[in-house]
Structure 1
């Protein structure tokens, strides 16, 4: 087996891990200054790391054969790095661009976060690297500071105009909780989510339909929301209340109305879900999840036949609720089920995919986990 010493002729100084995430509710409200409610997964990206005295960043992934990619930090600029190596390079570029005196490193990267499944595998990679660099170079940055740097890395270097949710979830979530995040003022609180105690499971159904948020679709949606806010004279759609929504829609071009309706009602669904969790009614959020999927499908139009089939079949088989999670255009569906129903729901979705001629999905139970941390 290839080890860090085999690759880099020395032992690592430590190992850091950052999780993927699912979002219970609040999809696409993060870049509208709205509220989100993500949960960290037990699946993580792990980085073994060692500082270097020069400006070289040397990268190796266990998923990529024997190749070591070497980058000169002094020559990094947005657009100069492609593929998976752009994500760790972007983090180090963002740290240096923010004035942090960091040099090179040797990084060995391993991950069990499914790629292309809408579970934030890219954010997990960025946050694992950011956490490692924070410790290696004694930067003293907190989780939110690292999240903002990782967001800037993805926005300015990778070129995806994402919000702050994925990075914050990967860095700041805690086991047994969902994270209620106000993406405007960046305040957050941990909301108890004891699924086992409630006799429930949160199934993640990876449809295996790949999506690429850098292909322009995500940016187009964000631009549409920003244009709508501008036409309504608002700083962001966060400032439009549900009561004022009907009148506001009448003032907008037809093509922008569904986007606005989704964002405003989704923000309201985050409040509903949080209130139910605070009251200990975990089963009650099932209906909120299902309503969220309908809005993502009909108004925001980011679903697809596979995610619709997974969500609809799960509910028909006994799930309390189900919805797409992630940026859309494929990815995963989450389904809230009673523990005794988990196998039946999983089997029903698998059978439905087989009957439709789709590649069979993979499913697992999501247990709310801790955010990024040093593990060795």
Structure 2
């Protein structure tokens, strides 16, 4: 194949934050906003990537970690991971356009990586399944870009479906569609971009991942999802920080499964309190919120939201709020007013609906 166009969406995670790297569960869905890659095969062993507003990078297919930095590392990392897996890449020209907001906690980087991965795989007629692409993108992020991420974001992007959330099992790399039709229930899921850019996210994210890994080893479990008796596990841990992190992960996994059952039964409104409890846990036990995220949640709830929580890795980014359609404008106005009174940047709002996953457009 000489040319083609592929795209991959960003994602919103309904619930299940900071669980994927402990082998746990999450419930994301793919957004309508996508990263599009127009690709053309070349045969000189070079890859060029030009992105609207970000410039252009060029590198050999035999790139190595550290050779490409900035936004281009996400592109080069995918090529590196493919080559390391044994793929013979001839080269490519990539033109990239993204409608996924950058830095908003909507997984713009994984959207880019998934779209690039599909483009390179398609151009070179490689036979790789979605589960293989999930791991390939993770290797690109972890080992080339240097971000210690899990598998949630790329699974949401690669497996997303219209009107469906995706129950992600991070241990087994399975993705099970779950009915998720907010509009037919008279509801909107608002994404509030707080415009607070991620502060200290990489180092703090890595620290929490290490704490979870060390706590799992201390408890003698493969992953924290294997903790059967939370009270017993917490009593055996001596580090108060580890106690808080483990408590969040174990309870968050349970909240995911509870939310799945409610959605399957059509009881969409009843997931609201789970969202709010998740945010409190992320604030108090996982300690990944910032003032803008907390204020957005508090203001949305005070204005009548059924539930609200931060999404993404934390330390900035976005909040989701589940609201009655009739209340959306008043909730948005309340959040905006709270931000203005505190001197925060003006937030941006969008309604999120489960959309199709990554694939070839033409």
- How many matched pairs? 360
Q: Deviation of residue 212 (structure 1)?
A: 5.8
**CA contact 2:159–2:175 (8 Å) conserved in 1:** no
In the alignment, which of 53, 58, 65 is matched to residue 63 of structure 1?
53
Aligned to 2:273: 287
CA RMSD, Structure 1 to Structure 2 (Å): 1.1
Pick aligned residue for 1:186 from 156, 173, 177: 173
The CA distance in 2 between the partners of 1:214 and 1:124, in whole Å, is 19
Mind listing any 5+ residue stretches in structure 1 that lack a counterpart? 1-11
Query: Does 2:333 align with 1:343?
Result: no
Contact 1:160 1:213 in 2 (8 A): no
What is the CA-CA distance between 1:213 and the residue it aligns to?
A: 6.9
How far, CA to CA, are the matches of 1:215 and 1:153 in structure 2?
A: 15
- 5+ long unaligned stretches in structure 2: none
Task: Tell me if 1:120 matches 2:107.
Answer: yes
Q: Are 1:223 and 2:210 counterparts?
A: yes
Distance 1:163 1:212, change over 3 A: farther
Provide the residue aligned with 1:175 in structure 2: 162
Aligned to 2:245: 259
SS in 2 for 1:207: strand
CA contact (8 A) 1:81 1:89 kept: yes
Q: 2:77 aligns with which of 75, 90, 97?
A: 90
CA distance in 1, matches of 2:358, 2:48: 22
Contact map agreement 2:201 2:313 (CA 8 A) in 1: no
Match of 1:372 in 2: 358
User: Could you state the TM-score of these two structures normalised by the residue count of structure 2?
Assistant: 0.97
SS at match of 1:289: helix
User: For residues 201 and 277 of structure 2, what CA distance do their matches in structure 1 show?
Assistant: 27
Residue range with higher mean Cα deviation, 324-333 or 98-107? 98-107
Q: Deviations over 1:326-372 (max 9, x none)?
A: 00001000001111111111111011100110001001000101111
Report the CA distance between 1:29 and its aligned residue: 0.3
C-alpha spacing 1:36/1:338, structure 2 compared with 1 (3 Å):
same
Deviations 1:224-249 (A, max 9, x none): 000101111111101002xx111211
Alpha carbons 1:35, 1:181 under 8 Å: kept:
yes
The within-5 A match list for 1:198-213 is 198-211=185-198
2:301 is aligned with 1:315: yes
Distance 1:295 1:191 in 2: 24
Deviation of 1:51 (Å): 0.7
Q: Does 1:235 align with 2:227?
A: no
1:258-317 CA-partner distances (Å, limit 9, x unpaired): 000000000000011001001100111001000000000000000010000001111111
Q: Describe the superposition over 1:150-180 as per-residue Cα deviations: whole angstroms up to 9, x where unpaired.
A: 1111011111111111011111110100000
Contact 1:160–1:214, Cα closer than 8 Å, also in 2: no
| Pair 1:34 & 2:27 matched | no
The 1-side partners of 2:111 and 2:254 are apart by: 28
- Structure 2 distance, partners of 1:307, 1:68, is 33
Superposed displacement of residue 214, structure 1:
6.2
Q: TM-score, normalization: structure 1?
A: 0.94
Q: Does 178-187 or 294-303 show the bigger shift?
A: 178-187
Summarize the alignment of residues 357-368 of structure 1 with structure 2, pairs less than 5 Å apart: 357-368=343-354
Q: Does 1:148 align with 2:138?
A: no
Residue number in structure 2 paired with 1:23: 13
Between the aligned partners of 1:188 and 1:213, the Cα distance in structure 2 is 31
2:37 aligned with 1:47: yes
Q: Give CA-to-partner distance per residue, 1:168-202, whole Å, 9 cap, x none.
A: 11111101000001111112210010111111111
